[in-house]
Amino acid sequence: MHLSGTLLVGPEFEPCEGRLHVADGTIESIERTTVNSDAIVMPAFVNAHTHLGDSIAKEAGEGLSLDELVAPPDGLKHRLLGQADDETLVAAMARSIQFMERAGTAATLEFREGGRDGVALLDRALAGQALRAVTFGRGDPSVLDVADGYGASGAADRDFTAERAAAADADAPFAIHAGEVDARDIDPALDLDPDLLVHMVHATEAHLDRVERESIPVAVCPRSNLATGVGRPPIAALHDRTTVALGTDNVMLSSPSMFREMAYAADLSGVPAAEILAMATHNGAQIAGLDGGTITEGAPARLIVLDGDSDNLAGVQDVRRAVVRRASVADVTDVLLPE
């Protein structure tokens, strides 16, 4: 098959008119040529941080603090998860996954509550879906038997030394929330030598220096931070120091739309559109150890096709900027998510 239109090619997402030739789920060749198509073809998204379990409680808890909303074990989220039956949880997660696929997300880095049982519920929700979840389990270290990695809530909650050691023994990634409410848990999190930090809203210059020195990537979730009132992540400063990827965080707080996350991150940070696109695509893929995230020959054909002649996108002068700041799920005409 082939896809024609304006192609966002390579790690810089260079706009060029042409045609993609796709075979067996792989981009076989890129033909730069004049075509009669208004389509915009871009890589599919990788969402670098989600909590899909609280899809049962969208927009719950207005006015509550972050701890009251999500802190384990008694935050509103955890109480609601404890009250819901398995079928309700699976159905709600499946609905969110279907939305993410329709909105162009190929993969997500999912922080999964509930230990081994929680991972099993997610697997049920993913059955028959094209989206891939790289699962970071919680609870007893034995969750690493069924999860791809370990996702710690934060160093202020408890000591995660044993879980970090278990992840290292299993050759599995260890990720941890840090600097979401304040800076006190950042150094303890860094002392665990994580493979991924999440949030880093309150990172100081000293923290940024350490992140750069130790080459630790960061997933930022600016809309979630806005919703909980904890502050604004220093996206530009982090981008200057390390690999940054975008995540949408808890479904109870923010829709898992990477279009909305890109637009807010761009307005908040002033980072150029091509770099924001990288945060939403191949940076997350790189962190997760996945192939792809760019339109290059030999890459997986995980792609989004946008209608460049939609009422929203017709007449754009800067395609990359339009995709980041203006495009929405309503502009998506096709999503290719091959196995």
CB 189 within 8 A of CB 181: no
CB 274 within 8 A of CB 236: no
CATH of the domain at 25: 2.30.40.10
Give the total number of structural domains in the chain: 2
For the chain, how big is the Rg over CA atoms in Å? 19
Do both 10 and 158 map to the same domain? no
Do both 150 and 89 map to the same domain? yes
Chain-centre distance for alpha carbon 255: 12
Q: What is the DSSP letter of 148?
A: S
- Taking only the tens of pLDDT, the chain with its 339 residues reads 999 999 999 999 999 999 999 999 999 999 999 999 999 999 999 999 999 999 998 988 888 888 888 878 878 877 887 888 999 999 999 999 999 999 999 999 999 999 999 999 999 999 999 999 999 999 999 999 999 999 999 999 999 999 999 999 999 999 999 999 999 999 999 999 999 999 999 999 999 999 999 999 999 999 999 999 999 999 999 999 999 999 999 999 999 999 999 999 999 999 999 999 999 999 999 999 999 899 999 999 999 999 999 999 999 999 999 999 999 999 999 999 987
Do both 71 and 152 map to the same domain? yes
Do both 182 and 311 map to the same domain? no
Q: By three-state DSSP, how is residue 272 classified?
A: coil
CB 122 within 8 A of CB 133: yes
Do both 9 and 93 map to the same domain? no
Enclosing domain of residue 164: 45-288
Do both 111 and 19 map to the same domain? no
Do both 56 and 171 map to the same domain? yes
User: Among 226, 238, 139, 220, which Cα is nearest to 177's?
Assistant: 220
Do both 38 and 60 map to the same domain? no
Name residues whose C-beta falls within 8 Å of residue 105's C-beta, 6 or more positions apart in sequence.
44, 45, 46, 47, 131, 256, 258
CB 200 within 8 A of CB 177: no
Do both 98 and 247 map to the same domain? yes
Q: By three-state DSSP, how is residue 99 classified?
A: helix
Rounded Cα gap, residues 176 and 247, in angstroms: 14
CATH of the domain at 114: 3.20.20.140
Across-strand partners of 9? 14
What pLDDT, on the 0 to 100 scale, is given for residue 292?
86
What pLDDT, on the 0 to 100 scale, is given for residue 80?
82
CB 237 within 8 A of CB 201: no
